[in-house]
Chain A
């Protein structure tokens, strides 16, 4: 593995420990699951936003197995494990699919962590945006009413939002020259770090190693990628390639808007994050295809990997359309978080890359 990748993994681990130690000293955190919830809103409330820091070994797997059947998607199983283990002061339980909906609806049976439920509309449009915004607003008022926040400060939200976009832009500009595993972990760091501190870390990290010169570039889309779920990135890295993730744990995590918004109210942030969602779950989901096509074009990627998680109907059902929609070869992977999957996935990625070389 490239030294930068090794260091990025270490850094993620260090920052996770750091976050936990900060919690012990009184830092309040609010965990979100989906990129659609604007983290800056929580920052504006004086609460540290984190995306639930699950990883492929998180939670008590045996306990989770007793609670839900094996045909629940691995991501949701990990989330259940994390929620049980007091990962945050509260959780924003966003319903993004059947599985997350069931998880958060049933979470009271499994954990004492407070879960604020919110339904992310699959349809776009004014009514859906209003519905979404009103739910975020309700959560903000509940957090304030429950004494977890002393009120919304828009400058704090602005700081968080601006730093996020700056750091994301920096990372995006260097993405081609960052080894895949390192890039994946630098993106994971957005889950748990203050983005302004992260920017310094990214600069430091990038300065600590020779630029990576990939022999080819691939684009990655599909279900979220968890820390520890490194097989695809490791394989591409071992074969000397670059891998640009544009899924919701990749660059799609960030809103499109590059110009400064008119204000940093809850409503504005909701609109920015809601409208910039390009998840395959959207109905209709033409935007997902358009976005991937645009990214393929702008990155010059020679191939696309669609990495779906097992039992994720929303991504895996699109496998045929994804293969037909783009001008580049497409590899669809149906993956789990089990170690038994590693070899099979690695071999498929290797074969895919080799077939690209031959063509």
Chain B
């Protein structure tokens, strides 16, 4: 074969179609059984686009003639239906089941069946909303998915002739279809309803019900379901008999089952060939059409075989010769969930270097065979149980996990459908299960209606998604090298340790308490941990990083308070902070008004010591007062724990804390490596809550070794060419890392945090050996450049140093909502970053919720594009 193997535009097909042989052109005919010789239908995509489907002009097509035949076959369905009706055939509109009732209806002669549901893609292909507008007039508005276009088509009669019968599935499927069909019935169309069954698996408490497994899908179902479905199908058979005037025999149904089995096996084979190949022999769009055409033969079983056989031949030939229409030599493999209402997104994915490696368009059950050794209606009923719409979202996702493994997909893209009620549940299950079982990137979005162009938000998100896959692939390839200094398992253990360090700490704190050691709860970096350690107690940073405790807090605190304070208070109010419960003393510093007043509300729950922080950082009197406050804290600790905090104890504690600070400092400075050997998220997770734990020190050392190992083996977790970002401002920790996560999702890397949870408080205590160690501790902490200080020039100096050390490209100033000091200081910080450091600057004011993630992602992506 010397034919080109590539993707063509509509314009290019205009030239290429001239080389179609007359023989091939004549072989492409439909309605051979109805009209003598049949009707030729092979036209170019451009010709079909001139009839109204304008999206065709924006797509790219496989260059094979078999693919051209597929496109023409699909877009000529309308012609078939109108012609057949004119010639006396009955027209049957099927709705919802996607592959089962067609097996019954095609057992009958003298009729053509089509899936009216598939009109959902008509508004996108036509780039025109008139079908939706017509549906809206009758009540089917935007709360329904695009299937409402079928209602518009029933009214206008533009896409298919008035059906003689509609067969509509209801029950364990989809309310959108059912609601639309009810409106269609209200218009006077003859509708036969049948009930689909939700599939259940056997629960632990089941005592009486019997369960079976589907013969080919292997899924468990309640046995009663198939009995009931058979009755439903008998009802359909009766209605078809009435419509066509033909008595249905078992042989007629068997013949239909055999016909569909042949077609199903062909498409299954095609899917296997294409989705398992390293370079797919056919593009995703042609596969998308082929899969849908199969479930109902596109109103023409005879020609449907020819179309699919042609594609199979092309795929086999290309696999033999190693050819693919995709340009990429090693495309990024993406599993696609839900049929995309905008078909051009599949082309977009391929243009970005991706390919489709497996699909779940909710029709996978229709690629499984039907049993031929039982009565046909039982076989169809069993097949219904394999429908992924009738089972729980979790089960569907588990089956997708199997697919993903089989097709070696590197990411999952779920193109949700606006208004489709099941999408809301699938997204949640998808994230949870995929993260647990596969750990591959997942992209979920509802496809917006954007006639004539790509939606830029979708483009950005797909780019980031492909970028993530690319990064993960690079990382996976690097880690597969056996010479790596740290094995992948070790890496995972180290990263898991910090991800879950809280559970280690809860156990450790309880053990400390049992051993008679003290626990002091703190909230702020101004609280000297050295002093607490010297009192033979452990400083524990109390919880305040969950959005879940905020609603409880808002029953007392005003809503317009910073989330950190609300979350902290909510933890205490709901008794969820395990450290607060066991603390002997709470040290409450007065860094801001909100915290100060919040401390009053928790004062009665635990012994509390207010540590007043003076804020004129450059004034002697302020310093003297602060030093006095530190002395008072020392006395309080001595009183609480019944011991004297000697200079010797202080020096030992300083040495221990200095070691810890130095370890953290070294770890955070790993971000200075270029290319980065650690991610910003990994670094952010290092900030644990309990100081002085030897296990933390051991794991920090392991983390540093792991990163050095990555450097030696050149395993860069985020690749080597990302914009380098400093996050400045309010502190973050596990549970509130969204800004850092978004930066890295968007293609950047957070190299340093100029925050209390980052490098800001990690200066060592100096000059303590030969001078007053308490004064040394007080001085070290007084120098932390928090926005509560005035003037806070230290923050600008630190930013300058970090920008240089970390070769930063931009600074993101993170301000928790209602944190007035950081918010106001942003003005000066922004000017300094832009004008003095010459870097990009972005201020983000947000809270702990995830509701603004998408908006933030767009802002961050925009900034990264400017770098």
Name B133-167 residues within 8 Å CB distance of A: 137-141, 143-144
Write out the residue numbers on chain B whose beta carbons fall within 8 Å of the beta carbon of A98: 174-176, 421-422
Name A111-138 residues within 8 Å CB distance of B: 114, 116-117, 119, 121-123, 127-128, 130-131, 134-135, 138
Write out the residue numbers on chain A whose beta carbons fall within 8 Å of the beta carbon of B831: none
Name A301-336 residues within 8 Å CB distance of B: 311, 313-314, 316-321
Write out the residue numbers on chain A whose beta carbons fall within 8 Å of the beta carbon of B144: 313, 317
Q: Which of A66-74, A155-163, A172-180, A231-239 contacts B (4 or more CB under 8 A)?
A: A66-74
Q: A274-298: contact bitstring with B at CB < 8 Å (1 yes, 0 no)?
A: 0000000101110000000000000
Write out the residue numbers on chain A whose beta carbons fall within 8 Å of the beta carbon of B180: 317
Write out the residue numbers on chain B whose beta carbons fall within 8 Å of the beta carbon of A66: 548
Can you list 5 A-B contacts (CB < 8 A)?
A60-B551, A72-B421, A119-B198, A127-B232, A284-B182
Select B172's contact among A60, A95, A128, beta carbons within 8 Å: A95
B33 at the A interface (CB under 8 A): no
Closest CB-CB distance, A280 to chain B, in whole Å?
8
Q: Which of A102-110, A189-197, A348-356 contacts B (4 or more CB under 8 A)?
A: A102-110
Looking at A62, A97, A105, the one whose CB has the most chain B CB atoms below 10 A away is A105
- Report the number of A-B residue pairs with Cβ-Cβ less than 8 Å: 151
B392 at the A interface (CB under 8 A): yes
Q: What is the CA–CA distance of A117 and B228 in the complex, to the nearest angstrom?
A: 17
Contact B547 A62 (CB under 8 A): yes
Select A121's contact among B139, B171, B186, B421, beta carbons within 8 Å: B171
Write out the residue numbers on chain B whose beta carbons fall within 8 Å of the beta carbon of A95: 171-172, 198
A63 at the B interface (CB under 8 A): yes
Q: What is the CA–CA distance of A283 and B169 in the complex, to the nearest angstrom?
A: 10
Q: What is the CA–CA distance of A318 and B228 in the complex, to the nearest angstrom?
A: 29
Contact B195 A121 (CB under 8 A): yes
Select B205's contact among A114, A130, A281, A314, beta carbons within 8 Å: A114
Write out the residue numbers on chain B whose beta carbons fall within 8 Å of the beta carbon of A201: none
Contact A285 B392 (CB under 8 A): no
Minimum CB distance partner of B547 in chain A:
A62
Write out the residue numbers on chain B whose beta carbons fall within 8 Å of the beta carbon of A321: 138-139, 183, 186
Closest CB-CB distance, A147 to chain B, in whole Å?
10
Contact A106 B392 (CB under 8 A): yes
Q: What is the CA–CA distance of A156 and B728 in the complex, to the nearest angstrom?
A: 68
Closest CB-CB distance, A12 to chain B, in whole Å?
22
Closest CB-CB distance, A247 to chain B, in whole Å?
17
Contact A63 B548 (CB under 8 A): yes
Contact B224 A134 (CB under 8 A): yes
Contact B170 A122 (CB under 8 A): yes
* Size bracket of the B interface: 35 or more
A101 at the B interface (CB under 8 A): yes
Q: What is the CA–CA distance of A142 and B79 in the complex, to the nearest angstrom?
A: 55
Write out the residue numbers on chain A whose beta carbons fall within 8 Å of the beta carbon of B203: 114
Closest CB-CB distance, A283 to chain B, in whole Å?
4
B489 at the A interface (CB under 8 A): no
Tell me what chain A mostly uses at the interface: helix, strand, loop, or mixed.
Answer: helix
Select A105's contact among B170, B193, B235, B393, beta carbons within 8 Å: B393
* Size bracket of the A interface: 35 or more
Q: What is the CA–CA distance of A353 and B862 in the complex, to the nearest angstrom?
A: 50
Select B198's contact among A117, A138, A319, beta carbons within 8 Å: A117
Q: What is the CA–CA distance of A321 and B393 in the complex, to the nearest angstrom?
A: 33
Write out the residue numbers on chain A whose beta carbons fall within 8 Å of the beta carbon of B172: 95, 101, 119
Q: Which of B424-432, B474-482, B661-669, B739-747 contacts A (4 or more CB under 8 A)?
A: B424-432
Contact A105 B139 (CB under 8 A): no
Closest CB-CB distance, A146 to chain B, in whole Å?
5
Name A15-68 residues within 8 Å CB distance of B: 60-63, 66-68
Q: What is the CA–CA distance of A109 and B419 in the complex, to the nearest angstrom?
A: 24
Contact A69 B171 (CB under 8 A): no
Shortest Cβ-Cβ A-B pairs, 5 listed:
A145-B207, A105-B392, A320-B139, A317-B179, A102-B425
Q: A95-B171, A127-B195 are in contact. List 8 more A-B contacts (CB 8 A).
A: A97-B421, A102-B392, A114-B205, A283-B182, A283-B193, A314-B175, A317-B141, A317-B179
A271 at the B interface (CB under 8 A): no
Name B556-595 residues within 8 Å CB distance of A: none
Given A121-B171, A283-B170, the answer on whether A142 and B195 have CB atoms closer than 8 Å is no
Minimum CB distance partner of A148 in chain B:
B205
Contact A69 B427 (CB under 8 A): yes
Q: What is the CA–CA distance of A142 and B206 in the complex, to the nearest angstrom?
A: 6
Write out the residue numbers on chain B whose beta carbons fall within 8 Å of the beta carbon of A2: none
B619 at the A interface (CB under 8 A): no
Looking at B137, B231, B427, B432, the one whose CB has the most chain A CB atoms below 10 A away is B231
Contact B182 A317 (CB under 8 A): yes
Write out the residue numbers on chain B whose beta carbons fall within 8 Å of the beta carbon of A314: 175, 178-179
Given A62-B551, A313-B144, A317-B179, the answer on whether A72 and B170 have CB atoms closer than 8 Å is no
Write out the residue numbers on chain A whose beta carbons fall within 8 Å of the beta carbon of B138: 320-321
